[in-house]
Amino acid sequence: MNLNITLTQQVDAVLPQTQCGLCGHRDGCLPYAQAIVEGEDANKCIPGGQPVADQLAEILNRPILVAEQSVWPIQADGRPQRMKAVIREDECIGCTKCISACPVDAIIGSGKLMHSILTDLCTGCELCIPPCPVDCIDLVEDHSTLLTEQQRLVEQDELRNRYYAHIQRQEKRQNTRKGPIVRAAIESEVFSQFADVETQDNTVVASAAIAPEQDAKRIIELAKIRSQIKKLDKQLSVRPEPAKQQLLDELKAKLTVIEGA
């Protein structure tokens, strides 16, 4: 296949890495980036909205197209409203189907136990909603402060890495047939091409390379701890409790150790 890898990486670097498939590419942002370079219109990324369509037109030196519309209102930065998924935990039957569906591994829980979404990691891609047999996942608007351009790039790199680690894990699971498979088999050919190129452009290639599974585990562990710390901070601000305070101190110490590792 004659693919312009550097240009594909430049295009992929602009895409939000939500991996939602709303552009029509069920395997996410990288396959859409590839299709754009091969001639597909560059206005189909729904979460990216008009700002992404504009940036892509500039990179590709093509006319600006009106971005395909989101069902959500537009935020101050011109992108559609960011959303987060929330599980109604008392209704969850612990079937684990949402875990396989989440492209960025933002859901924790195990068989027959209640599941939770790590809010910091959730991109609101909605992919966990259809597989849930009891329809206990809601989408809520995320009104936290909008990201700066720099923060967005950091977030996109993290999402890309988590997705690639997720693909690797899903492929392994598919081979051994352990756990429910919700998403159809991922066409990994395009991803493997990007794992192989490591020398053309350090910045872009580094973000496109497949992250070791260990890294994804560490990110998820960090997110879990941060989420627990946030919850405890909130609880303790209402009512001080020595046992919870001790747990909070321990979690903070653990976070420092993992962050420094």
> Least distance in Å: CB of 86 to ligand SF4?
9
Task: Write the Ramachandran bin of 260: left for phi over 0, alpha for psi from -120 to 50, otherwise beta.
Answer: alpha
Q: How many CB atoms lie within 10 A of CB 100?
A: 22
- Cβ neighbours for 153, distance < 8 A, ≥ 6 positions apart: 13
Q: Could you tell me which stretch among 92-100, 167-175, 187-195, 213-221 binds ligand SF4 (CB under 6 A)? A: 92-100
Interior angle at CA 60, CA 19 and CA 104, nearest 5: 10
Q: Could you tell me which stretch among 91-99, 142-150, 187-195, 241-249 binds ligand SF4 (CB under 6 A)? A: 91-99
Residue 168 within binding range of ligand SF4, rule CB under 6 A:
no
Residue 95 within binding range of ligand SF4, rule CB under 6 A:
yes
Quick one: three-class SS letters along 97-113?
HHHHHCCCCCEECCCCC
Residue 117 within binding range of ligand SF4, rule CB under 6 A:
yes
Q: What gap in Å lies between CA 118 and CA 106, rounded to an integer? A: 5
Residue 190 within binding range of ligand SF4, rule CB under 6 A:
no
> Least distance in Å: CB of 258 to ligand SF4?
22
Q: Which residue in this structure is represented by tokens 């909008």?
A: 146
Residue 16 within binding range of ligand SF4, rule CB under 6 A:
yes
Which of 11, 122, 216, 232 binds ligand SF4 (CB under 6 A)? It is: 122
Q: Which residue in this structure is represented by tokens 């990179």?
A: 59
Give the tokens for residue 177. 């047939």
User: Which residues of this chain interact with ligand SF4, rule CB under 6 A?
Assistant: 15-16, 18-23, 25, 28-29, 32, 45-48, 85, 87, 92-98, 101-102, 104, 106-107, 109, 115, 117, 122-128, 131-132, 134, 136-137
